[in-house]
Amino acid sequence: MQIVRHSEQTLRTALISKNPKLVSQYEKLDVREQRLMNEAFQPASELFGPITLHSRSDWITSHPEAPQDFEEFFSDPYRKTPSPERRSIYIQSIGALGNTRVISEEYIKWLKGYCEAFFYGLTVKLLDPVSVSATRCSFRVNDHTQNLQIHAGHILKFLKKKKPEDAFCVVGITMIDLYPRDSWNFVFGQASLTDGVGIFSFARYGKDFYTSRYEGKVKKLQRKSSDDYSIFDNYYIPEITSVLLLRSCKTLTHEIGHIFGLRHCQWLACLMQGSNHLEEADRRPLNLCPICLRKLQCAIGFSIVERYKALVRWIDDESADTPRPTPKHSREDSVNLPKPAEAFKEWKVWIIKCLAVLQK
What is the C-alpha to C-alpha distance for residues 304 and 124, in angstroms, rounded to an integer? 19
At a CB cut-off of 8 Å and minimum separation 6, what does 46 contact? 353
Find the largest Cα–Cα distance for the chain: 66
In contact, 256 and 274? CB cutoff 8 Å: no
Residue 215: active-site member:
no
Please check whether residue 129 is in contact with residue 172, taking contact to mean a CB–CB distance below 8 angstroms. no
47 alpha carbon, distance to own chain's centre: 21
Residue 59 one-letter amino acid = W
Where on the phi/psi map is residue 66: left (φ > 0), alpha (ψ -120 to 50), or beta?
beta
Q: Is the dihedral of CA 308, 355, 259, 209 positive or negative?
A: negative
8 Å CB contact between 162 and 172:
no
Residue 120 CA to residue 288 CA, distance in Å, equals 14
**What's the one-letter identity of residue 227?**
D
Q: Residue 251 to residues 137, 196, 228: CA-CA distances in angstroms?
A: 22, 16, 30
Euclidean distance between CA atoms 15 and 233, whole angstroms? 49
Phi and psi angles of residue 351, each rounded to the nearest 5 degrees, phi first = -60, -40
**Three-class SS of 102-152:** HHHHHHHHHHHHHHHHHCCCCEEEECCCECHHHHCCCEEECCCCCEEEEEH
* Candidate list 255, 279, 306, 318, residue with the active-site label: 255
Q: Determine the Cα–Cα distance for residues 28 and 16; give it in Å rounded to an integer.
A: 12
- Enumerate long-range contacts of 62-67, CB under 8 Å, 24 or more apart: 62/276, 63/264, 63/274, 63/276, 65/263, 65/264, 65/266, 67/14, 67/263, 67/265, 67/266, 67/267
Positions marked active-site: 255
